């Protein structure tokens, strides 16, 4: 697929076209090229780790075919526009991020468009990769096997009893614990004062 086709697809899924989606599509294309994939690979040969969510990722998904549902896309939410592309066969990993001055470069690229948003819309479709991105080989701190894990593995949490899939349990003193029980969770269950609520019924 060429950029226009990728953007068409991205726009359909996202319901509008915006500079971040175009940036995502371009990064997706650059990442595949860097790992010598000529089209979105089948069979989970490409794993991508995005450092943010939002419009940007929809462009990356349209270009690479990687999705959360297929377990080929993970979001490590650093709040940064950047993606690491991993060849799951070789473990080769390449991180691509926009150059720090990409917005200034975009405006310089389309000098007759004073509105930054529209300058970026145009520039991100026409600037060469080397003016847009920093492309760096990186070493993953976890193996691909650990990151992906074995789908279908299950244990029950020894505290809350809920099932934990894909080897995401943490071992604590011989117990299997889910992350919500072992770590500060992202949620808590409010304590219900039963006596108080009943007396108010």
Residue 94 gets which letter from DSSP?
Answer: E
State yes or no: residue 55 binds Zn ion (CB under 5 A). yes
Taking the least distance from each CB to Zn ion, the nearer of 68 and 160 is: 160
d(CA 84, CA 192): 44
Taking the least distance from each CB to Zn ion, the nearer of 46 and 52 is: 52
d(CA 71, CA 67): 6
Angle between helices 116-126 and 102-109 (to 10 degrees): 90
State yes or no: residue 81 binds Zn ion (CB under 5 A). no
State yes or no: residue 181 binds Zn ion (CB under 5 A). yes
Among 160, 165, 175, 183, contact with Zn ion (rule: CB under 5 A): 160
Among 7, 18, 82, 110, contact with Zn ion (rule: CB under 5 A): 18
- Shortest spacing between CB 136 and Zn ion, in angstroms: 26
Order of all β-strands in the sheet with 133-138: 73-75, 46-50, 83-87, 93-98, 133-138
- Shortest spacing between CB 160 and Zn ion, in angstroms: 3
State yes or no: residue 61 binds Zn ion (CB under 5 A). no
State yes or no: residue 159 binds Zn ion (CB under 5 A). yes
Q: Any residues with CB less than 8 A from the CB of 131 and at least 6 apart, and which?
A: 99, 105, 109
For Zn ion, the binding residues (CB under 5 A) are: 18, 55, 157, 159-160, 178, 181
């Amino acid at each position: 697929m060429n950029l226009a086709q990728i953007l068409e697809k991205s726009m359909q899924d996202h319901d509008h076209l915006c500079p971040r989606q175009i940036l995502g599509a371009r990064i997706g294309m650059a990442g595949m090229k860097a790992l010598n994939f000529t089209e979105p690979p089948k069979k989970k040969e490409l794993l991508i780790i995005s450092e943010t969510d939002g419009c940007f990722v929809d462009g990356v998904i349209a270009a690479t075919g990687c999705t959360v549902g297929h377990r080929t896309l993970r979001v490590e939410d650093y709040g940064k526009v950047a993606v690491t592309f991993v060849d799951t066969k070789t473990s080769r990993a390449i991180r691509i991020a926009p150059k720090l001055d990409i917005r200034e470069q975009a405006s310089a690229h389309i000098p007759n468009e004073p509105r930054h948003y529209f300058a970026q819309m145009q520039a991100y479709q026409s600037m060469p990769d080397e003016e847009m991105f920093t492309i760096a080989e990186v070493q993953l701190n976890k193996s691909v096997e650990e990151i992906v894990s074995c789908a279908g593995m299950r244990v029950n949490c020894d505290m809350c009893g809920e099932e934990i899939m894909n080897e995401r349990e943490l071992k604590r003193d011989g117990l299997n614990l889910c992350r919500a029980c072992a770590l500060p969770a992202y949620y808590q269950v409010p304590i219900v004062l039963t006596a108080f609520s009943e007396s108010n019924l």
